[in-house]
A and B are shown apart, each in its own frame.
Chain A
Amino acid sequence: MTLLDQRIRLDEQRPALDPDDFFGSVLPAAIDEHADCILPALAFVEPRPFVVEVEGDAWSLRADDNRVTITPGLDDGARAHVRLDPHQLDDLVNDQQTFMSLWAGNKLVQSKGNVGHCLDWWLVWRAALDGTPIHTPGAVTFRDLDGDPLDLARTFRLDDDPDEMRNFIEQAGFMHLTDVWSEVEMAEISRDMDAAVSEYAEGDGRSWWARTADSETRLVRMQGFDSHSPATADLLNDDRFLSLASIPGAGHVQRSHRMWNRIEALFKPIGVTEGISDIPWHKDCGIGRHSYECCGLTTGISVTGADEVSGQLHALAGSHRALVWSGILQPDLDLPDIPLATQTGDVTLHLSCTMHMAQPPAERERRVMYSGFSLPPLEEASDEARAAGRARLGAVREGAPLTVLDKHFKS
């Protein structure tokens, strides 16, 4: 495992998880083994007493400043109580899903407490099972190659020093590249976006839609956009685009999965009242499979510029190096929020573990395209198991605009 290759699990067939064995033996042993990843953070996270119920059996989890205890049975004083089916527990333990994905997919059955209580315990589980320290304030710092404080507002050009670029994205988890494409090239793509609107329909399974305050229904995300834009298809084979993969120096390649959707073109309307257009704070891996896939590299191509009134991207610097809530901004995080104001033709890069969000546009609409690169697949992994895991998460991602995520963030 390296900073940019966080894969510690292989897609493979595995025996079904026994909840009693997990809570009685596996999790307590993992907590003991990785106590150094958990105990220093308990005072900061303060996980509340928590009950997990699986098919009528219950386990109660408690944490104080220096220990975590798991006991069978119901804790009447628990602040939170969730009911999981065995498959959900299996997926949570094996990082195929997260509490965030269950919640976003409207599949989290929680009779007491809120999703934040689950996310606090998810941190403990991941620290125990993966050996990753839970983030504590001050744990993430930023240094340039000379050991000086890193200028997080720095922008780069494609021909800048590769070592400085690699160090920046390793440290910050994101990058802003200027002047990658010309205004003329982006204007052609913008025209293609207008022309492609009629090729998509609400409910077609390859587009996202939203309602605005003036009761308009707007197309906000066109998937597989290169099929409708020759200029975009050319861009995906352009050396400028392909060279982005080499910036992190981790061997990223064009995604071999989701080939039908190599690039998405997004409209960012003003005043969205229903549907997801501007996704709030999240990690792309926040719905699961971090330990199988990360870090992927997402490219945002500014078809039009973006700033504080036209839907710019924000990134939480260093969050890819921090085990924190994977969606919703965890209270009292100390990581810097960096707004990425871009000009037409600029590119933003972010890692799949970097917390980021799209600021809703207030005065001007914005247009942007998203594509990306993956780490090369691990040869030992099972293609079938990988495809099944990705398919389950794909359903969560595509279903999210219609479910609780929308209700929560628009409330």
Chain B
Amino acid sequence: MTPDEVLDASRYILVIDYPDRDVPETLVRGGFEVIAHEGPTDEDYYVYGVDGDTVTRKQLDHAPTTADLVYTYRPLDELEGIAESAARAGAKAVWVHPDTGHDSARGRTIVEGVGLAYVDAPDIRDAVRGREARR
């Protein structure tokens, strides 16, 4: 799947950490349903929304059970667990942030090993903006 096809096939995105709040905000402004796992504890999940020009953020009292796409900004040694969780949630792909210092080939092996598509370029924000520009 190309990055654009991954986005086309996705509605619910689970964000597992991010380098900048701009990531979940760009996704939710791009029309996706976004839940972010952003700590500080393992139980902290936030649902993002848009109210006019403002991005809203509300804490959830439970973890999401399904996702079409999992985006992650976590180290490589956590990727196996993330990929397995993504597969259990019904995701079709894992999108790894480009600047996580991953060995791309190793990351691809892990994610494709559980039957999901692997993307680590471009930055998901650029992909969403490009897609938005053609919407």
- Which A residues lie at the B interface, using CB under 8 A? 48, 114-117, 119-120, 280-281, 308, 325, 328-333, 336-337, 339, 359-360, 362, 408-409, 411
Contact = CB atoms under 8 A, between A and B. Distances in A.
Most buried by A among B2, B134, B135: B134
29 contacts: A114-B132, A114-B133, A114-B134, A115-B133, A116-B133, A116-B135, A117-B134, A120-B134, A280-B129, A308-B101, A325-B133, A328-B129, A329-B126, A329-B129, A329-B130, A331-B134, A332-B2, A332-B3, A332-B4, A333-B122, A336-B121, A337-B122, A339-B98, A339-B99, A359-B99, A362-B20, A409-B129, A411-B26, A411-B29
Contacts of B127: 329, 331
B135 A331 contact: no
B124 to A, nearest CB: 11
A101 to B, nearest CB: 15
A80 B26 CA distance: 23
A181 B122 CA distance: 32
A362 B19 contact: yes
Interface string B1-28: 0111000000000000001101000100
Interface of B: 2-4, 19-20, 22, 26, 29, 98-99, 101, 121-123, 126-127, 129-135
Given A116-B130, A328-B129, A331-B131, 14 more contacts: A115-B133, A116-B132, A281-B126, A328-B126, A328-B133, A329-B126, A329-B127, A331-B130, A331-B134, A332-B4, A337-B98, A339-B98, A360-B20, A411-B29
Contacts of B4: 331-332
A114 B129 contact: no
A interface SS class: loop
Nearest to A271: B20
A336 to B, nearest CB: 8
Contact of A116 (B98, B123, B134): B134
Contacts of A360: 20, 22
Contacts of A114: 132-135
Nearest 4 A-B pairs (CB), nearest first? Answer: A116-B133, A116-B134, A329-B126, A308-B99
Contacts of A325: 130, 133
A330 B132 CA distance: 11
A120 B29 CA distance: 23
B78 to A, nearest CB: 18
A336 B120 CA distance: 11
Contacts of B26: 411
A329 B122 contact: yes
Contacts of A120: 134
Contacts of B130: 116, 325, 328-331
